[in-house]
């Protein structure tokens, strides 16, 4: 005799057990499957009152998650608003500072830099003027030397027929042999670029050009540039034998006291 198939109640019990094992929060059994939907159609069997509290607990957890997510969203929005507010304040402060002029430190820094630049510029200008005056002195000295040779080219000696030295400065002034930039306004005497006097003495074999009141700052430069071109160059009567020269004396009250003598034949 063959065993009869399982009855419907037995199937329902098995499906219910399967639903509980699957862990669904709210199960309905239709006789063939399990789902989370509620029971509405005929033939479906709802969960017993024993499982109802579990379904309600699951629903409360979902609501708590929703509330927590809402709180997190509000916190994030508040943080974003705070960051944006700080950024706007920082930008406004920076713009105000940029429009408010220079600070005291910036002004002092600009003054210091300006002073340094001015000092270097003044030093450069002063050095440039001094170099130009030295160059002018050397050019006039060379021109005077040429003019002396031309003035006495047809004579025996340079204003003297002996070894005795004779002052020929006035003769050269009268002959127009002194460079114009070394002549005083009245044409009575010769004065070099640095304000000192210029005189010339001659002998039968040569002549000397003497420049007085040469400042210490240019004394070395003039001697260094002229030493090789003359028979001798002297500072205060002492012949220079090596470079750099050491005989240049300091100025007195801002006025040069060095006397340079250039000997040629």
Instruction: Note the CATH number of domain 108-264.
Output: 3.30.1690.10
Range in 61-70, 130-139, 243-252 with the lowest mean pLDDT = 61-70
Count other C-beta atoms under 10 Å from residue 55's C-beta: 15
The average confidence (pLDDT) of the chain is 79
Segment 162-181 mean pLDDT = 95
Percent of the chain clearing pLDDT 90 (strictly above): 48
pLDDT at 190 (0 to 100): 97
Is it true that the peptide bond before 244 is cis, omega within 30 degrees of 0? Answer: yes
pLDDT tens column, 110-127: 777 777 766 655 555 555
pLDDT at 121 (0 to 100): 52
pLDDT at 7 (0 to 100): 47
Task: Write the CB contacts of 17 (distance below 8 Å, at least 6 apart in sequence).
Answer: none
Q: Which has the higher per-residue pLDDT, 85 or 258? A: 258
pLDDT tens column, 42-63: 444 444 444 444 444 445 667 8
- Domain residue spans in the chain? 108-264
Range in 6-20, 88-102, 131-145 with the lowest mean pLDDT = 6-20
> Is the distance from CB of 216 to CB of 258 less than 8 angstroms?
yes
DSSP assigned state of 195:
S
């Amino acid at each position: 005799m063959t065993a009869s198939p399982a009855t419907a109640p037995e199937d329902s019990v098995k499906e219910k057990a399967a639903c509980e094992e699957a862990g669904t929060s709210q199960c309905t059994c239709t006789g063939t499957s399990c789902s989370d939907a509620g029971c509405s159609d005929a033939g479906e069997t709802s969960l017993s009152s024993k499982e109802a509290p579990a379904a309600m607990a699951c629903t409360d957890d979902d609501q708590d998650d929703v509330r927590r997510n809402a709180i997190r969203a509000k916190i994030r929005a508040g943080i974003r608003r705070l960051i944006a507010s700080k950024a706007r304040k920082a930008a406004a402060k920076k713009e105000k500072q940029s429009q408010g002029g220079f600070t005291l430190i910036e002004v002092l820094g600009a003054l210091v830099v300006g002073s340094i630049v001015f000092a270097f510029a003044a030093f450069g200008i002063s050095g440039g003027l001094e170099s130009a005056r030295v160059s002018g002195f050397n050019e006039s000295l060379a021109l005077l030397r040429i003019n002396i040779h031309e003035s006495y080219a047809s004579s025996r000696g340079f204003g003297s027929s002996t070894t005795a030295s004779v002052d020929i400065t006035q003769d050269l002034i009268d002959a127009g042999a002194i460079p114009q930039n070394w002549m005083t306004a009245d044409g009575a005497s010769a004065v070099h670029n640095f304000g000192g006097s210029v005189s010339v003495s001659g002998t039968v074999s040569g002549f000397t050009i003497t420049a007085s009141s040469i400042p210490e700052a240019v004394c070395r430069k003039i001697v260094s540039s002229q030493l090789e071109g003359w028979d001798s160059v002297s500072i205060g009567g002492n012949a220079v034998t090596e470079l750099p020269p050491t005989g240049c004396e300091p100025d007195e009250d801002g006025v040069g006291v060095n006397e340079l003598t250039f000997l040629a034949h």
